[in-house]
Structure formats: structure tokens, C-alpha cells
Structure 1
Amino acid sequence: MAAYLSEWLSLLIRWFHVIAGVAWIGASFYFIWLDNHLEDPPEWKKKKGIKGDLWAVHGGGFYEVAKYKLGPEKMPGILHWFKWEAYSTWLSGTALLFSVYYFGSPGYLIDNAKMELSTLSAALIGLGFIGGVLLVYELLIRSPLARNGMAFGAVLFALLLVVDWALFQVFAGRGAFIHVGAVIGTLMVGNVFLGIMPSQRALVETVEQGREPDERVAQLAALAKLRSTHNNYLTLPVIFIMISNHYPMLYGHAHGWLILAAIGFITAFARHFFNLKHRGVYRPSIILACGIMTVILIGVIAPPTGKQAAAQAAAAAEAAGEVSDADIHSLVSTHCAGCHAKEPSSPAFQAAPAGIALDTLDEVVQHNDQIMQAAVNSQYMPLGNTTGMTEEDRKKLGAWLQAHK
């Protein structure tokens, strides 16, 4: 019953997290689009302090949107703030991190082949990375480096690359991926809480008091705009990480940290195309380059096929020696069927994960490709290798699977 209720808790938190994330990222995309599409207003609007405006049609009607250079002559009675989308996304994501990775299945996070950790020590390491990177980012964005966009972007990418590599040395691939996502998500919500909201409060206070914004308010506004731009470029990488737990071919790869870095770069670069396009600058070469890089990545990490696969299978079979059906049944029962069974013996699962039950050899053959990817081509399975599956075991399993394709 505990595992059943835990699954429901995870589902409800994940559901809320996705809804909140859609709201936050949707707002981010919309306001960047809005800023980039503002037109020079007519003179009568400029006299009222309006910096730019635009017209749009949606939902059966016309919308007139105006942005003031500083603020309106009189503060409106109702002013809409956009902050809880960010806060609720981060809070639900943190709850999901705890429920799935810290309090849930330790195999998602801990890989004893990399480092033997208790759940508590793994959680402290993960939270330490999240807090530490936020501190470094805040020091960087408050430094003169923030005035050079290209240099700052390069330093931030290098910082995240180091974090990505380091987490893969400590955690299982899936746990490393999700912690990189948690680091990025925390930077994004930190931008809202530590930069964007203080700037907006200072501007509102200035307008309410009927004062002209001073240099401090202007600097806060400029930094808030920069933080918002950073968040916009980080959205696509963090969305990818949110869905990556479904694809062990990526995080279970021996060079998973490099794959994540490549996808992070490609997706952020693709976002640059849309940001330029919103400003009237059309650079299809960016999307073409992103497509080419994606195809190259797919090719580089692809499993062997044809003669290469046959040669590897022959080598594995020779190394493994004669492998009988009984050997494989015993191996699967020891290392796989605790979770992947119609009635799992593992307390972490009420049903076979992803519906893959391996109670019989026929079912093993049925899921041949998935097993090859998760347990032979990568070491993602068993989770955290808690059963102690050896390299020899993997070679035997691979040879048998190749023979039964």
C-alpha cells in the first residue's frame, strides 16, 4: 500500500509541476514575444509616457497592448503580477525531487559502481550543487561580466558543463540529468525572486510616490530585463530535462553528460532563432545548424547495426561462452524480475515499470531491444546496480539477445 500511495503522490505532484511549468514558460515566451513586437506609438501616446504598443486579434476580439517607458500617470487599482507561475513550478519540482529521488527509489539516483552513497548523503550532495551554483550565478550576474552578453553566456555554459560532468561522476545517469535540471530551474526562479520581483516592486513604489525613477531603479530594471532574457534561453533545455527520464538511451549512455551538454546547447541556440525572428531578424541558418547538429548527435550515439553489430555479437558470444536458456532465466530472475514482473517483489513498484514484465523468456525476447539498450549497451539497468550485475552477466545477456532477434 505504501508503494501504491507513493505512486499517486508522485503522479499528483508531477501533474501539478507540468501545469505550473506550462504557465510559467508560456508567460516567459509571451512577454519576450511582446517586447520584441512593440511598435513605435503615435505621438499622442508618447505624450502619455507610452514607449511602445501593438495590436493583436485573439479569442474573437481585438487587443491593444501598451508598454510605458516608466509608469502610468496614476497607478491602476488592479495590477497583475507574474510570479506564482515561477514559484509554484519550482516548489512542485522540488517536491518531486524529494518524493521520487530522495524518498522514492534510490536506484534512480545512486549508482554504487560510481560512488557508494546513503540516500541522505546523496540528497545533501544534490542540494549542495543546487545551492552552490545559484550562489556562483548571483555573483556573476552582479559583476561587470553581466554587461557582456556573449562572454557571460560562455561562462555560464562552462559552469553548467562542469556541473553536468561532476554530477555524472557521482550519480546514476537519470539522477544526474534531473539534478542538472534542478540547478537550471533554481537559477531561473532565483532570477524571478532575487532580481525581477525586486525591480518591479521598486518601480511600482516609485510610481505610487509620484517620483521619477532614480539610477538605482533604472539599474534594477536593466538587470531584471537581463535575467528575464537568461530565463528565456534556459527554457528549452529545462523542458528537455523534464521529459528526459523517459529515455535511458540518453542518460544511460556512457557519455550521458556530453549528450546533455550538446542538447542543452542545441536547444538554447534554437531559442535564439525565435528571439531574433520576433525582432524581425530572420536567420534560418540557425535552425538548419541545429538540425544538422541533432542529426550528427543521433548518429554518434546510435547503437551498432549491420556488420558492426554482428561482429560485436560474435565477440560477446565468444567472451561469454555457451549461454543456455536456463542461464538467462536465472540471470533475469536475479537482476530484472524483482521490478519487471507482473507482481514485483520490490516494494518500490506495484506493477512492472513501463509495463515491461519479464517473468518468462518469451517476454524477454519480446522486449529484446529495450533490454539491449538499458542493460547491455548501457548500464542503466538494474537501477543503481543494487543486484550487482557484472560485466560478464551483461555480455551473456547481450549474446543471448542477439541470438534471439
Structure 2
Amino acid sequence: MDIYLLDWASLLLRWLHVITVIAWIGASFYFVWLDNHLVRPTADDLKAKGVDGELWAVHGGGFYNPQKYMVAPANLPQDLHWFYWESYWTWMSGFALFVVLYLCNASQMLIDPRVHTWGAPWQAVVAALGFLVVGSAVYDIACQALGRTKDGQIGNDGRVMAVVAAFVVLESWLACHLFAGRAAFLIVGATLATMMTANVAHWIIPGQKKVIAQMRAGQKPDPIYGQRGKQRSVHNTYFGLPVLIAMLSNHYGMLYQRPDNWLVLCVLMAAGVSIRIFFVKRHKGVNGWDSLGLAALLIGGLIVRMAPAPQAAAAAPVTLEQVQAIAAQRCLACHTGEVAQKGVRLDSAEGLSAHKAQIYQQVIVQRAMPLNNATGLTEEERALIGRWARQP
């Protein structure tokens, strides 16, 4: 029953997480697109109101005319629509999923003795949480120390992002040498996601609230709050795709079960940034094919580098009895009897044959099973299972 309820908790949390991710990233992408398509108004009445940019759009059978004020309109309306719950719920649902699947099951999901030996599971849990805290602190210090131009204005994002990139490379290397590969990828992605939500919670929304409070009090709004919010919002849009690829990649053992898995993660994240740069340029009317080409080069390079070596033809067919012997030693700890994980039973010839395609996908293609290779499946045994699965 515990496993059954855990599966439901995992499913519902994952569903909530995906819903909120779509809402948050979708809103972020839309507002970046909107900012890059605004044009300065020509009408005198709009200029008099302080409108800095506007555009006309058509969607769903209606016409829309968004207008942006810099720093704020002269008369603040009472009914304001805020965009923050998407960010908060994305982080909370993702963190809850991380706790349920990884931290509460640290000995299996977080720790891989072949990578690093921890004295106790709680030490790995504390270290994993430490990555999130330290990452957010490093990024925030970089923004405050380096995120200004020589004349004191908000800017110099290149220096900030260079620090973030260097930190991500270091964190990826360290995480992949301390935790199971699957968990390490997730931790790095979660660190960036924590930076993003911290931007919303500690800078963007509080800054907007201060501007509103100043206006309600009849004071002139300080433009610094809008500038800081804009800076952090721009950073978030470049963090988004690297976070998504880190989250998706932990479903593919071929990525994280490699000695150079940290490098694979860094390359995938760099490709995500390049793809986002292409879209941002595209929004501005510039075809940044160089950015898209770089992403394709990075991903293509990974595909070539990670391609498995050609296997020699088997001298003799692999029998089901041979596979049963391997399964008995490597698989039955989780896939036997009524408590078989995911309902996949491999304790009989019928079970192995019925799940032949799944075995090939999980053991050979994705290399996701055994989980963290806890039972020590050898490469020779994996190759034998692959030959059996490919047999007619």
C-alpha cells in the first residue's frame, strides 16, 4: 500500500509541477516576446499618458492592444493582475516532488556508492539542499556586485551570466561526483530553478509592490525597482530552457550514467541557452541563425560522441534461460511477486517475454535500469540482454 500511495503522490505532484511550469514559462516567454515587439507610440494622447511602447495583436477572434508605461502610469488602477503564483507553485511542487522521490529515499535515489561513499543518507540530503542555497547566494551576490555599469546603472549582465555559467559548470562537476547521476542532474536544474523563483520572490514582486506603495502615497516611483525587476526577469528567461533540459534528462540513463555525465549536462544546458538566444533575437526581428547553429552543433556533437560502439554479431542466439539467470541476480530485488515496481514482474519466463520491449528500452536504450545500477549489472550482461531483446 505504501508503494501504491507513493506512486499516486508522485503522479499528482508531477502533474501539478508540469501544469505550473507551463503557466510560468509560458508567461515568461510571452512577456519577453511582448517587450521585444513593443513600438513607441505616435499618438499624442498615448505619449501624454506616459506610454513607452504598445502593440496590436489578434488572437481568439479578438484584438488586443497592450501598452507599457515606464515607470508607471500617472493614475494607478485599483485592479492589477499579478504574475507570481505560477513561479511559487512551480518551485513548491518541484521541491515537494524532490523530497518525496529523492530526499525521502536518499539511500536509493540520491546516493550511488560507486560515485561517492556517504557516512549516512542524511549527509547526502543536507548536501543536496546546500547546493540550492549556495547556488542562489552566489547568483545574488554576483548580481549585486557585478550587475551595474560604471555609472551605477543596472546592467553588465554579461559579467553576471559569466559567473553563473562558471558556477553551473563547477556545480555540475561536483554534483556528478557526489550524487547518483540522475539526482545530480536534477540538483543542478533545481539550483537554477531556485535562483529563478528567488528572483520573483525577493526582487521582482517586492520591487513592484514598493512602486505601487510609492504611487499610492503620492510619491514619484523610484525607477531602480523596475530596472532590477527587468534585469532579474531577463536572467530568468535564459535560465528556463537549461532547467527544462536538466529535468527531462534524468529520464534518460544514457545521459547521466556516463563518466563524463557532468560535461553532457553542461553541453545540453549551453544548447538550451543558445536556443533561447535565437528566439529572443527572433522576437527583435533578427535571425540569429548562428545561435541556432551553435545549439545544433552542441547537440550533434553529443550525439556523435555518445554513440555506442558497433557490436559484433553474436556467435550464438541468447536463450531465455540465460536472461532469467541475469534477472534473478540483478532484477528480482524490485520486480518480483505482488510488490513488483510499476507492476513489472520479471520472475518468470512469461514476465520476461511480456516485457521484452520495456526491458530493451530501460536497460539498453536509456540505461536507466537497474536504478543507479545498484545490483551491479555488468556491461557484458547488459550486452547479452540487448542481443536477446533484438532477437525475433
What is the TM-score of this pair, normalised by structure 1? 0.86
Q: Distance in 1 between matches of 2:389 and 2:87?
A: 50
Q: Distance in 1 between matches of 2:192 and 2:245?
A: 12
Counterpart for residue 221 of structure 1: 226
Following superposition, the deviation at residue 229 of structure 1 comes to: 0.5
Q: Distance in 2 between matches of 1:304 and 1:45?
A: 65
Q: Distance in 1 between matches of 2:346 and 2:324?
A: 13
1:51 counterpart = 2:40: no
Change (3 A) 1:291 1:301: same
Q: Distance in 2 between matches of 1:297 and 1:397?
A: 22
Q: Distance in 2 between matches of 1:339 and 1:23?
A: 36
Change (3 A) 1:48 1:400: closer
Decide whether the 8 Å contact of 1:74 with 1:208 is kept in 2. no
Decide whether the 8 Å contact of 1:181 with 1:238 is kept in 2. yes
Q: Distance in 1 between matches of 2:360 and 2:78?
A: 64
- Residue 102 of structure 2: SS of its match in structure 1? helix
Task: Please give the per-residue CA displacement for 1:23-69, whole angstroms capped at 9, x wherever unaligned.
Answer: 11111001111111111112221111111111111121111111111
Counterpart for residue 202 of structure 1: 210
Change (3 A) 1:64 1:173: same
Q: Which amino acid aligns with 1:111?
A: D
Identity %: 37
Decide whether the 8 Å contact of 2:24 with 2:86 is kept in 1. yes
- In terms of mean alpha carbon deviation, does 285-294 or 33-42 score higher? 285-294
Q: Distance in 2 between matches of 1:265 and 1:225?
A: 23
Counterpart for residue 398 of structure 1: 383
Change (3 A) 1:73 1:370: closer
Following superposition, the deviation at residue 109 of structure 1 comes to: 1.7
Counterpart among 244, 255, 263 of residue 260 in structure 2: 255
Counterpart for residue 69 of structure 1: 70
Change (3 A) 1:328 1:394: farther
Q: More relative contact order in 1 or in 2 (CA 8 Å, sep 6+)? A: 1
Counterpart for residue 151 of structure 2: none
- Residue 329 of structure 1: SS of its match in structure 2? helix
Task: Map 1:378-397 onto structure 2 (within 5 A).
Answer: 381-387=369-375, 389=376, 393-397=378-382
Decide whether the 8 Å contact of 2:268 with 2:298 is kept in 1. no
Q: Which amino acid aligns with 2:176?
A: F
Counterpart for residue 5 of structure 1: 5
Q: Distance in 1 between matches of 2:114 and 2:243?
A: 27
Q: Distance in 1 between matches of 2:366 and 2:294?
A: 30
Following superposition, the deviation at residue 223 of structure 1 comes to: 1.7
Counterpart for residue 170 of structure 1: 178
- Residue 51 of structure 1: SS of its match in structure 2? strand
Q: Which amino acid aligns with 1:38?
A: L
Q: Which amino acid aligns with 1:176?
A: A
Can you give the 5+ residue segments of structure 1 that lack an aligned partner in the other structure?
A: 318-322
What root-mean-square deviation, in Å, do the aligned CA atoms of Structure 1 and Structure 2 show? 2.5
Can you give the 5+ residue segments of structure 2 that lack an aligned partner in the other structure?
A: 149-154
Counterpart for residue 96 of structure 1: 97
Change (3 A) 1:80 1:121: same
Decide whether the 8 Å contact of 2:326 with 2:381 is kept in 1. no
Decide whether the 8 Å contact of 1:111 with 1:383 is kept in 2. no
Counterpart among 278, 285, 307 of residue 280 in structure 1: 285
What is the TM-score of this pair, normalised by structure 2? 0.89
Q: Distance in 1 between matches of 2:240 and 2:219?
A: 36
Q: Distance in 1 between matches of 2:142 and 2:272?
A: 23
Q: Which runs of 4+ in 1 moved over 6 A?
A: none
Counterpart for residue 38 of structure 1: 38
- Residue 143 of structure 1: SS of its match in structure 2? helix
Q: Distance in 2 between matches of 1:240 and 1:208?
A: 43
Q: Distance in 2 between matches of 1:30 and 1:219?
A: 23
- Residue 10 of structure 2: SS of its match in structure 1? helix
Change (3 A) 1:193 1:369: closer
